[in-house]
Amino acid sequence: MVKRSKKSKSKRVTLRQKHKVLRKVKEHHRKKRKEAKKEGKAGQRKKVEKDPGIPNEWPFKEQELKALEARRAQALQELELKKEARKERARKRKLGLLEDEEIANLASAASAQGSEFAAKDAAKDKAPLTVAKSNDHSERSFYKELVKVIEASDVILEVLDARDPLGTRCIDMEKMVRKADPSKRIVLLLNKIDLVPKEAVEKWLTYLREEMPTVAFKCNTQEQRTKLGWKSSKLDKTNIIPQSSDCLGAENLIRLLKNYSRSHELKLAITVGIVGLPNVGKSSLINSLKRSRVVNVGSTPGVTRSMQEVQLDKKVKLLDCPGVVMLKSSNSGVSVALRNCKRVEKMEDPVTPVKEILGICPHEKLLSMYKVPSFSSVDDFLQKVSTVRGKLKKGGVVDVEAAARIVLHDWNEGKIPYFTLPPKRDAVEDSDVVIISEDGKEFNIDEIYKAESSYIGGLKSIEEFLPALLGAPDPHALLVRAVGGVLDMASAERDASKWWCANCVALVECAPRLPAPSPDALAHAKRLAGRWKEMVVAGPAGGGDTGGMAGWGLLTFIASYDIAPEFDADEIIRLFGDIASEVKDNCVELCKRLGLIGKMTDSVDHFIENGQPIDAIRLARTFGLTGKYTPLAIMNDYIENAKKDAEDILSKESYTPESRKQAMAKKVDALIFLWSAIDGYDMDSVQRSSIKAEITQLLHKYANKQQSLAGVPASISSSHQQQKFQEEYRQRPPVEQETQQRKAHELQQETEEKQHHQQRKAQETQHQHIQDQQETQKREMWQNRKRRRQNKNRKRKQRRQNLQQQSKRPRLPPYVRPGVGNQHGQPFSGGRFAACATTIPPYYWSMG
C-alpha cells in the first residue's frame, strides 16, 4: 500500500481549473462594468428589490398590518425614550450631577464584562483538553444516576411541566422512591407557569395538592452568568409582569425546604434531589435558586449526563439528576417526542407527533404562526409549511419530514402555545389524606400556599393567552372558523375520537366570554351546527368512543348562539344515548332551553301508540321526564290503550279470522314482553302486582277467544306458566328496533363484502390464468423464432463455406481464356501474355 506523503498538499492547480477561474472572473468584471455604465447615466439608480408585502389571500392580513403598525409605533416610542434619556444624562453630566453610586455601578459592570471576556478566552485555551471526554452515555447509566440521587436525598423534588403535568409526571419513579424509603418526602414542582393561563395553574395546583405538596415555579430566563433576578412574593401582584424574565416562586420553595429541615431538627444541610423527565427545567431550577449559571442548560435532551452537587447555602444542598424516561411511563414514541425526551433529528417518524399537535392546538394559531392557508389534514399542513419555509427535495418535491421537524422544534421551544386541564378525580382514599396531612405539618404548607397567591394572580388570563382567538375584531367569526377547521380534520381523517371533541368543547366554552356576535358569524354558526349534528348522529350513539363529549359540545354550541337545528326524536336518542352521567343533568337543562323536551314527550306518545312501551320508558328515564311520562304512568297508559284495543279486536266484525289472529298475536307478544320487564324498574310491590294482574287478565281474554295462539297457552293464570314466562322473558334484554336494523345492516354488509371478496378472488385467478397462457404463447413464439434464426444462420454458414472452397481454385482473367485473345479464338501467341498462355494447364481451356 502506498504511504501518504507527510508534506503539505501542493497549491498547484490544473490549467483547466486555472482558465475556468479566469473566465469566471472576466465575466464577473464585465457585468460589473455594465452595471456601472448603466448607473452612470443621469436619473438612474441601482435597482432595489421591492418588498412584495402581505398576500391578499392570507386570512389574517388586517391583523398583521395592525400588528406591524403597532410594532413600528412602539419602536419609534422606544427610540424617543432612549433619546430623551441620553439628553438627560448628558445634561446631568455637564452640570456635575451624576451620582457617585451610578459611576461605581458603571465601573463594576465594566469590570464584570472584562472578567467574563477573560474567562471566555481561558475557556477557549482549555477547550482542546476536554475534547477527548466520552459523550456516549446510555439510558442505563442515566438510570444508575437516578438511583444514586434517590439514595442520597432527604427530599425528592419532582419537576413537572405546567402545560402537561400528567404527561410529564413519572408515577413509576414515585413508587420507586416510596419502596426504597417510605420516610422520604416527595414534593411536586409545577414549572413553566408563565406558559399557561392562571386559571389552568390554579386548577392544576388544586388537583395535585390532593396527593402531594405542590408549589408553582417559573425559572429565570436571563442571559447573564451571575446575579439572576428574583421576583419577591411580598410585592403586590399588580407589580409582577407576566413577561418578566425573573424567577417566580424561589423564596417559597426555599422556605418550604427549610421548614422541613427545622421540623426534623437536622443539624446538617438537607439534601434535595431534583428529578423529572428530560427538558422539564431541572438544571434551570438549580440555576434560578443559586442565582448563577452553575450547571449547563439546553433545549435538547441529554445535556445533564451525571449527578451534580450544588451547595445552595449552609442548610440546603441540591442534587441535579439527568432526565430518565421510565419504560412504563412512556406509552409510545409519540408521547416521548411531544415531551421533548428524544432529539428531533433522530426521530424515524416525525409526522405522527405533528398529527397529535394539530389535535391539541387551535388551527387559527397555527395559520397565523406559519403563515399558511387553511388546511384539511396533516399532510396538507406539512406540505404548505414546507413550501413556505423552502424545504424542497430534488425536482421540487416537498420535504414533508423536514417540515415536521420544524414544527417539532417550535413545539419543544415553546413557540406553539398549548395547555391542558386536570381530569375529574375519583374519591381520595383515607391513607392518602393521612399522608398529605403529615406532609403539610412537616413543610408548613398553609403558609407557603398563602404567599403563592401573590404572583399567581399576576399571570396571564385565558383571554390574554389566546390573542389570536379572543382579540380579533370579530372573535366569534374566528371561533366558528376554528371549530369548522377541527370538524374538517375529523371528516378528512374519518375519525370521531375524543381529541376533536375535546378541542371543539374547549373552543365553544370561550363563547360566553366574548361580545355579541355579528350576523355573518351567526349564519356561519347555524350552518356549522347542522353539519356537526349530521356528523354526530351519523356515527354510533354518543359519537363512538367520545363518552358523550360530542353531544355535550354540540348542545353547548347551539345554546351559546341560540341556533338549535331541527332534531327528530330518533336523532335525539342517538345524540344523548352515551352521555356521561356527570353532564346528563346539564344536557337536560340545555334541552329545556332549546325547546327539545316537547319533542321528547311527543316521541313517548308515539311509542305508546305504536305498542312500544319499553322504548317509551327508556326515553323518559334517560331525560328525566316527569308528570304523566314517568315509567309507572306510561305503563298504566299503555295498559288502558291495550284494553281498548282488545275490545276492538275481539268484538268488531271487520276483522277476518287471519287478520284477527295476527293482531292478537302481536298484542300478546307486546304484553308478555312488558310483563317480563316490569321487575327491572323501581316501583312499589303493590303497583307491580296490580300491573301484572291486569296484563294477565288481558292475556286471558285473548286466550279465551282463541285457545291456540302462537307462544301463549290457554291456562295463562297457572303459577307454572307464569314461572315459565318469567324465566323466559325476565332476562331478555330490551332491544331497540334501531339496534336490530343496524345489526341486520352490518350483517348484510359483511355478507356483501364476503361475496365481493370471493368474486374478486375468482377474477384474480382467471386473470392470472390468462396471463400464464399469454406468457406460454409468448415463450413458444420466441423459441420458434430462435429456432428459425439458428437454421437460417446454419444454412448461411454452410453456403459461405462452399463459396470459400470454390474460391481456392485459381480463376483465369478474361484475356487468357479461349476466344478472348485473338479473332480466331486462340490465345495470344506472342507478347507479354505468351508465356502465361503456354503455361496454363489444358483443362482450363474448357472453362469458357
One-letter amino acid for residue 621 of the chain: R
For the segment 231-287, what is each residue's pLDDT rounded down to a tens digit? 655 544 444 444 466 778 888 888 888 887 777 766 677 888 888 888 788 888 888
Of 102-106, 154-158, 433-437, 565-569, the one with minimum mean pLDDT is 433-437
Helix axes 445-456, 198-208, angle to 10 degrees: 170
pLDDT at 169: 85
Check residue 465 and give its pLDDT. 64
Task: Look at residue 478 in the predicted model and tell me its pLDDT.
Answer: 62
- What is the separation of C-alpha 401 from the centre of its chain, rounded to a whole number of angstroms? 15
* Residue located via cell numbers 331478555: 732
Question: What pLDDT shows up at residue 790?
Answer: 92
C-alpha cell at 259: 421548614
Cell 323466559, residue located: 728
**Distance from C-alpha of 412 to C-alpha of 163, rounded to nearest angstrom:** 12
Q: How many helices (DSSP H) and strands (DSSP E) are in the chain? A: 31, 8
**For position 520, what pLDDT does the model report?**
66
What CA–CA distance (Å, rounded) separates 146 from 768? Answer: 62
Cα atoms in the Cβ-side hemisphere of radius 13 Å centred on 415: 13
Residue 678 is classified by DSSP as G
Most confident residue range from 10-14, 292-296, 563-567, 732-736 = 10-14
Helix, strand, coil percentages in the chain from 3-state DSSP, rounded to 5: 60, 5, 35
Strand spans (E) along 135-226: 155-161, 185-191, 214-216
Cα-to-chain-centroid distance, residue 405: 14
Name the DSSP class of 212. Answer: S
Q: What does CATH list as the number for 333-423?
A: 1.10.1580.10
| pLDDT digits 0-9 by tens, 326-371 | 544 444 556 666 666 677 777 778 888 888 788 777 777 787 788 8
What is the band of 751 on the pLDDT scale with cuts at 50, 70, 90?
confident
Measured CA to CA, the distance from residue 20 to residue 15 in angstroms comes to 8
Q: What span, in angstroms and rounded, lies between the C-alpha atoms of 70 and 77?
A: 10
Rounded to the nearest integer, the mean pLDDT of the chain is: 70
Q: Which of 378, 337, 333, 374 is nearest to 355 (CA)?
A: 378
* 600-612: average pLDDT: 69
pLDDT beyond 50 at 202 = yes
For 591-603, how does the pLDDT look when each residue is reduced to its tens digit (9 = 90+)? 655 566 665 676 6
- Backbone phi, psi, residue 284, to 5°: -65, -35
The torsion region of residue 494 among left (phi > 0), alpha (psi -120 to 50) and beta comes to: left
Cβ–Cβ < 8 Å for 273, 152: yes
Residue-wise DSSP of 162-178: TTSTTTT--HHHHHHHH
Instruction: Give the distance from CA 62 to its chain's centroid.
Output: 29
- CB-CB contact of 795 with 801 (8 Å): no
**Domain 139-329+430-456, CATH number (from 3.40.50.2300, 1.10.3720.10, 3.40.50.300, 2.60.40.10):** 3.40.50.300
pLDDT at 17 over 70: yes
Please list the residues that pair with 319 across neighbouring strands: 273, 309
Cβ neighbours around 518 below 10 Å, total: 13
Instruction: Kindly report, residue by residue over 57-112, the tens digit of the pLDDT.
Output: 777 788 888 888 999 999 999 999 999 988 888 887 777 665 554 555 655 665 66
583, 552 Cβ separation under 8 angstroms: yes
Beta strands 308-311 and 185-191, pairing class: unpaired
Phi then psi dihedrals of residue 52, to 5 deg: -65, -15
User: Which alpha helices (DSSP H) does 40-99 contain, by range?
Assistant: 61-95
Q: Please tell me whether residue 300 adopts helix, strand or coil conformation.
A: coil
User: For residue 146, which of 280, 304, 307 has the smallest C-alpha distance?
Assistant: 307
Q: Are strands 316-320 and 308-311 parallel, antiparallel or unpaired?
A: antiparallel
- Looking at 100-114, 116-130, 195-209, 660-674, which range is the least confident one? 116-130
The C-alpha cell that represents 643 in the structure block = 284494553
Q: Is 174 exposed, middle or buried (0-12, 13-18, 19+ CB in 10 A)?
A: middle
CA 633 – CA 617 distance, rounded (Å): 9
How large a percentage of the chain has pLDDT more than 90? 6
Beta carbons within 10 angstroms of residue 295's beta carbon: 18
**Residue 476 or 395, more confident:** 395
Treating both helix axes as pointing N-terminal to C-terminal, what angle do 351-360 and 498-508 enclose, rounded to 10 degrees? 30
How many residues does the structure list for the chain? 848
Contacts of 286 (CB under 8 A, 6+ apart): 274, 294, 295, 310, 318, 320
- Which tens digits make up the pLDDT trace of 683-737? 666 677 777 777 777 776 666 655 444 444 444 444 454 555 455 544 444 444 5
pTM: predicted TM-score of the whole model, two decimal places: 0.44
Q: What are phi and psi of 154, to 5 degrees?
A: -90, -35
- Cβ distance 215 to 473 under 8 Å? no
CA 17 from centre of chain = 53
Cα of 623 vs its chain's centroid, Å: 35
**The pLDDT value given to residue 427:** 55
- C-alpha distance from residue 385 to each of 148, 226, 400 (Å): 45, 40, 8
Decide: 602 and 632 in contact? Cβ < 8 Å: no
CA dihedral 62→68→70→74, nearest 10 degrees, is: 180
Amino acid identity at 602: D
Is residue 456 scored above 70 in pLDDT?
A: yes
Nearest one of 394, 397, 398 to 406, comparing CA atoms? 398
C-alpha distances out from residue 126 to 117, 119, 272, 388, Å: 14, 11, 32, 43
End-to-end CA distance of the chain: 76
Q: Are 19 and 26 in contact (CB under 8 A)?
A: no
pLDDT higher at 638 or 114: 638
Element housing 316 (H / E): strand 316-320
pLDDT digits (tens, 9 = 90+) for 29-54: 999 999 888 877 655 566 666 777 78
Question: Are the beta carbons of 554 and 528 closer than 8 angstroms?
Answer: no
Residue 538 reports pLDDT greater than 90: no
Enumerate the β-bridge partners of residue 187.
157
Please compute the mean of the pLDDT values over residues 746-754 and round it to a whole number: 84
Q: Which helix (H) or strand (E) holds 311?
A: strand 308-311
Specify the higher pLDDT residue, 652 or 312: 312
Query: Poorest-confidence range of 327-336, 480-489, 625-634?
Result: 327-336
Q: What is the pLDDT of residue 590?
A: 57
Give φ, ψ of 290 to 5 degrees: -80, -20
